[in-house]
Amino acid sequence: MCGIIGYIGDKKASEVLINGLSHLEYRGYDSSGVALSYKGEVEIYKAQGKLINLIEILKTKEDICSKSHLGIGHIRWATHGLPTTLNAHPHTCNCKSLTLVHNGIIENYQELKEELKSKGCTFVSQTDTEVAAHLIAQEYGKTKDLLCAMQNAVKKIKGAFAFCAIHKNEPDKIVVAKRNAPLVIGLGDGENFIASDIPAIIEYTKKAIYLSDYQVGVVTKNDVKIYDKDDKLIQNKVENLPFEAIAISKMGYKHFMLKEINEQSDVVRNVLSSKLVSSSENVVLNEFKLSKEKIKKITRVQIIACGTSLHAGLVGKYIIEQLAKIPVDVEASSEYIYRDTIADENTLVIGISQSGETADTITAIKQAKEKGSHIVIITNRADSTMARLADSLLPVNAGIEVSVAATKSYMAQLMSLYLLSFYLSEQKEIKEYSSIIKNLKQELIELPNKIELITQNPQNIQKIAKKYSSYKDFIFIARGINYPSALEGALKLKEISYINATGYCAGELKHGPIAMLDENMPVLAVLNTGIVYDKVLSNCEEARARQAKLIGVTNHIAEKDKGLFDDLIIIPQISDMASPALNIVVLQMLAYYIAEYLGKDVDQPRNLAKSVTVE
């Protein structure tokens, strides 16, 4: 679930809400809705699809829109339930008195739902959010106070949430709550705003309060009161927002890198939005300009990139070869440009760059273009040099990435490569992989929630990071599609902590690197259930026999094998082919927390630049 907006003041609430939602569209969404309060009544309007559909509905409701000065709004990315109008936010209780919007995921919604059903609640949607609406309404029935009802309800909810609620019996306030999901209150003169992100409200205010986890707030037009997890009133910490808040605000995070790691769930939603409608429908890739006939004539794919983008390309090689059955070469741009590469009109050349200004990759793309190859560019900057060289442009739209160490742009590149792989296979009409692709599509749809389960529960990763922050060397190992994850995990660690970290194919450990192993050399192994799981486990045994400290990142570990590892990080269940998108989040967080414990300049590591414009 993606974007929240709330307003109370003297302006037309509908206009503020729609304007705010329009500035949250970058987050990716499939439906929208608003609730407008007027004279003790609350009217709810929802629409499936793009925001323009909601705007058209509101045009026919001018009477309420012109009179309402309090409301809440939402854009939704479907998680629990299909992207329908019925499942769109806002949600309400059976008596229609309480109305709620929600960003996050309620982990114990099934248990709460059964309990609420036993008390007479009737559910009309498939969402987890409706559970919260009924629960808060039940508490309101006991307390007759919206603040107390929210405070009592959130204590029973497990998971992540940013709640924004109104009640027809208390038409002068909005009550909010936050845990592991972003929420900010913008302060105005005789008006106040609530949003998931600064872009929704930056044109109205330059002062804001960032809610912390477990806080609940009451927002009126002239006041904001914030309460801590013990329900005690606390002093508001007001921050001045810079003019370019979207670019340079840390949103309460200590570093931009941590903020950008946490933004990856929304990045996935945004990349998939409109391209991956459902698991049973073909990928829509209007930006790809080759016809079906020309796609069937492709004889090879060349992926050209540098650094983190190169590692994304290595994952792309695995999935394109597996699903589209086209041989793929992946090469560092700096190597590609200094040899006589074989490319022609039947070669698809994919250039990947966060900035679109990487000098080596630009040169390589120009060389391939001269040979008649079709050029696909995957970049975060649609206005860049590489974008202008493209025959097909796949902008990843990850938003401005401030931290030098790439995180969310890598995730966006992975998603683009998965989509491209699906698209090529579907255009080639390779029927035997349709069921595999269908399952992978569903996994990508569910991926944002699983990423959030990792980012919102960092305690184990933090503990392991602190334990290993004093080591001077590190080895990362994996096999198959996660070998690039080992490379990228090692790169992240050395980029920001300056620890000498190296990634290897796990099977290569015994062919040289094993000589370095002893009690002072930690080995991190990525091992997901699949064809190479047992082999990686054997490589872990080899490392353990040399007294190396052993960390496992896995979606499953047998009880008998747990004793092999000094430390384990368990990720949510996911297939081996989709697992790089979860494993990398763990490795990014581990690198971040190690660097933080070491007191490094996480966002601006020495000797590195965000955009490398020289060869």
Task: List residues with catalytic annotation.
Answer: 2, 610
Classify 372 in phi/psi space as left (phi over 0), alpha (psi -120 to 50) or beta.
Answer: left
The answer, yes or no, to whether the previous bond of 90 is cis (omega within 30 of 0) is: yes
Contact 79, 446 (CB under 8 A): yes
Contact 185, 192 (CB under 8 A): yes
Q: Give the integer Cα–Cα distance in Å for 349 and 375.
A: 5
Size of the chain, expressed as the number of residues it contains? 615
Closest CA to 267 of 485, 581, 18, 19: 581
Classify residue 382 as exposed, middle or buried by CB count within 10 Å of its CB (0-12, 13-18, 19+).
middle
Contacts 24+ apart (CB under 8 A), 425-433: 425/323, 425/324, 425/325, 426/282, 426/283, 427/292, 427/295, 427/296, 428/295, 428/296, 428/324, 428/325, 430/323, 430/324, 430/325, 433/322, 433/323
Rounded to a whole number of angstroms, the CA Rg of the chain reads 25
DSSP letters, 260-324, are HHHTHHHHHHHHHTTT---TTS----TT----HHHHHT--EEEEEE-HHHHHHHHHHHHHHHHHH
Q: Give the integer Cα–Cα distance in Å for 168 and 170.
A: 5
Contact 152, 174 (CB under 8 A): no
Residues 6+ away with beta carbon under 8 Å from 598: 469, 497
Q: Give the integer Cα–Cα distance in Å for 233 and 217.
A: 9
Contact 502, 474 (CB under 8 A): yes
Helix orientation angle between 307-324 and 483-497, rounded to the nearest 10 degrees: 170
The 10 Å Cβ neighbour count of residue 221 is 18
Contact 356, 307 (CB under 8 A): no
The 10 Å Cβ neighbour count of residue 398 is 29
Report CA-CA distances (Å) from 70 to 37, 359, 462, 507: 6, 51, 41, 62
What type of residue is 463?
A: K
